[in-house]
Amino acid sequence: MENGYHHTFSLGFARMFEGDFISAANILIPQLENAIRYVLKNANVHSAKMMSDLTQDDRSLSGLLVHMRKEMEGVFGVDLVHEIDLLFNYRPGPALRHEAAHGKLTDGLSFSADAIYACWLIYQMTVAPLVPYWKEHIAPQIEQYAF
């Protein structure tokens, strides 16, 4: 099995399409932060922070939004970064990243409009960029694992 997160995202999206938003939200929302760092890295944007002991550590979503917002806007666009901030980070908003990371994503919150929208937004962010490559690269992989 390859390294990566394609099975994790696939499972989250499968649960989302099944209507199991408890599973979908708890799988997908925690993946957003690292996925954003991955996209930034592929856009040659270094998102790590230097610690006082001269080691590097990954920035949290809130750290990215505070210290690297312009870079994020350059990669994702102003509107999407604002939407990510409002949905996953901002207080008094739903702050879904915080809720998921700290085990506060209750059953009811998983079926809220915010959580359902968050799952669909993550789907859109993940799949939309792949559409031009779907027939050539994605479909053969799906067929390979399906049979």
Does 132 sit behind a cis peptide bond, omega within 30 degrees of 0 on the bond before it? no
Least confident of 22-26, 49-53, 73-77, 139-143: 49-53
Lowest mean pLDDT among 1-15, 42-56, 57-71, 107-121: 42-56
Nearest to 110 by CA among 102, 101, 122, 118: 118
* Predicted model pTM: 0.86
